[in-house]
Amino acid sequence: MHPDLIEKVDRFLVSTACQNTSIVTAISGGIDSVVMFHALHAIQDRRRLSINLVHVNHALRGSASDADELFVRDLAALHGCPFHSATVDVHAHAENTGKGIEASARELRYGVLFDVAQQTGSSAVLVGHNADDVAETLVMNLARGSGLDGLSSLQPERIVSDHLRILRPLLSIPRSEIREFALIKNIQWREDLSNEGMHFLRNRVRQEIMPQMRNVFGADVGCRIAATSSLLTNAREIVKRAVWQTAEGKTAVRHKHSEVQGGEVHIVLNTIADESRGMKTEIVRYALHSLSHQPPTMNDTLRTLDLIDCEVGSIATLSGGLHACRERDYIAIGVGQIKSSDEAIGIKSDGVYVAGSVKLEIRRKKTSDAYLDHHPSSATIDLSAVDGDMRWRRWADGDRMVPFGSTHSVLISDLLTNAKISHTDRRACRVLEDNQGILWLCGIRPAERTRVTSATQHVLIIRQTPDVISS
């Protein structure tokens, strides 16, 4: 007998007020979900639970998937529990959505669980994630550069709607204790051989990285990482409360630093001017999240954050069809394009300009204070050669310039060919021009007329990132 695990599950149910109610229990047939069911069944009468077993057949392992479903069906019949099952087409969903197999399977699985919960009037969906799952998820998301949302993604309780929650009773229990419980209680379960496949990232983390971490940091490192994730969850809640506020006299919650205007979210710049870099990052993350309803990538967050210090009119192209545009008093985030990054961006002063994922920095200096940077991503040009305001745009067919070191005009397309820029990459190449024509084929070559000489008194130091050659 191993009562500790049962008592831990019981205490979890009490702490989350999951009593005297109908619940949906997700069960794959694997050891975690089967042990969770046995623990729930042991305290079913004590906590007045109506348990609905739900099995989702992902149909990814042929006859083995069908055998899993039969095993769970027999388990439900043996214990007199209502049984629900559904078969889903994971490959079709992955193809239609562009998501991976794991993500597609998870999305379809939760869809079935939520549907059954609604049909049965259940107030909670219980799933069998354990402490090792938390540790593996944190390690993966840490490597991906996730923010607080990703580092605290597996939580003991998550609100789905006003009437439904996801609960994870085993989240503080390591996989070794779950296995020990199953062996002592002589519980049978199904082994999923796909968990051995090294083409899934989680399996590689589980089989290669975590054993090494246990060797270095001790056998209980998974529990300690899970505890860290719990602390990060608390930190996440603190940050959310700092970023969001309850509207006075209402139950609705609104963003402190942004507002919705015509389907766009506007981050109001004067409200965040005195905030720390960390708080600005979280403000941007929550603004992006409010539009995409998905945790934003770190790349999208940083691109949008960069716009705070950029010139008006700068645009950042984000994933998921989103864009961010630097206006005078705010940053506008929306779906599609407010203004195409193909359009010319006017350069009237020193500063940082953004077009899509490309950044242009311009600084004016005395020649005596400047240094010549010969890297292709940089150009140092004679300021006196610039005629009027400059424009930064994509190159177009027919564009010409007299390149540095030459005396005759050359097609930009020929310069790109000579620089061995692929046809795929050259579509994104940009030029800097003035009233007389092109000053710099960005990242490739400046114009001859921009040459710095002994008579040059002031220069423009220009840098475009990412570099065309290295990107």
Residues 354-377 pLDDT 10s: 887 788 899 999 988 877 666 778
CA 334 to CA 337: how far, in whole Å? 8
Question: 């923010």: which residue's tokens?
Answer: 147
CA 274 to CA 283: how far, in whole Å? 13
Spatial CB neighbours of 352, under 8 Å, sequence gap ≥ 6: 306, 309, 310, 311, 314, 359, 360, 361, 362
Q: Give tens-digit pLDDT for 433-455.
A: 999 999 999 989 999 999 999 89
CA 12 to CA 190: how far, in whole Å? 26
Q: Higher pLDDT residue, 186 or 308?
A: 186
Q: Give tens-digit pLDDT for 128-181.
A: 999 999 999 899 888 877 777 777 768 899 889 989 999 999 998 999 999 999
Mean pLDDT of 26-33: 96
What domains are defined for the chain?
Answer: 3-236 (3.40.50.620), 259-335 (3.30.465), 361-464 (3.50.40.10)
Number of residues that make up the chain: 471
Instruction: Write down the pLDDT at residue 386.
Output: 94
Instruction: Write down the pLDDT at residue 259.
Output: 63
Cβ proximity of 94 and 100 under 8 Å: yes
Helices (H), 169-220: 175-184, 201-204, 210-217
Q: What are phi and psi of 311, to 5 degrees?
A: -80, 155
> Model confidence at 195, in pLDDT bands (50, 70, 90)?
low
Spatial CB neighbours of 430, under 8 Å, sequence gap ≥ 6: 355, 358, 360, 392, 393, 394, 395, 442, 464
Element (H, E) at 25: strand 21-26
**3 state SS of 256:** coil
Cβ proximity of 407 and 448 under 8 Å: yes
Mean pLDDT of 200-227: 89
Least confident stretch, 11-15, 87-91, 321-325 = 321-325
**3 state SS of 450:** helix
Provide the token pair at 177.
């204790």
pTM above 0.75? Answer: no
Provide the token pair at 69.
């479903």
Q: What are phi and psi of 453, to 5 degrees?
A: -120, 180
Give the single-character DSSP code of 194: G
Provide the token pair at 221.
């490192």
Average pLDDT, the chain: 86
Question: 């050659």: which residue's tokens?
Answer: 469
Cβ proximity of 122 and 24 under 8 Å: yes
- Which residue, 52, 186, 175, is CA-closest to 121? 52
Q: Give tens-digit pLDDT for 46-56.
A: 999 999 999 99
CA 205 to CA 186: how far, in whole Å? 29
Write the DSSP assignment of 46-101 as a string of letters: TTTEEEEEEEEE---STHHHHHHHHHHHHHHHHHT--EEEEE--HHHHHHHH---H
Helices (H), 80-190: 90-97, 101-120, 131-144, 148-151, 175-184
Give the single-character DSSP code of 295: P
Q: Higher pLDDT residue, 349 or 458?
A: 458
CA 65 to CA 61: how far, in whole Å? 5
Q: What are phi and psi of 112, to 5 degrees?
A: -65, -45
> Model confidence at 247, in pLDDT bands (50, 70, 90)?
very low
Instruction: Write down the pLDDT at residue 341.
Output: 53
CA distances from 177 to 53, 212, 224 (A): 23, 20, 15
CA 444 to CA 407: how far, in whole Å? 17
Mean pLDDT of 79-106: 91
CA 246 to CA 262: how far, in whole Å? 22
Contacts of residues 150-159 at CB distance under 8 Å and 24 or more positions apart, as own/partner, are 150/295, 151/229, 151/232, 152/229, 152/230, 152/232, 152/233, 152/235, 152/236, 154/129, 154/229, 155/233, 156/12, 156/16, 157/16
Instruction: Write down the pLDDT at residue 44.
Output: 96
CA 50 to CA 400: how far, in whole Å? 76
Question: 């930190």: which residue's tokens?
Answer: 235
Sheet strands (E) in 164-305: 164-167, 244-246, 253-255, 258-261, 264-268
Cβ proximity of 171 and 154 under 8 Å: yes
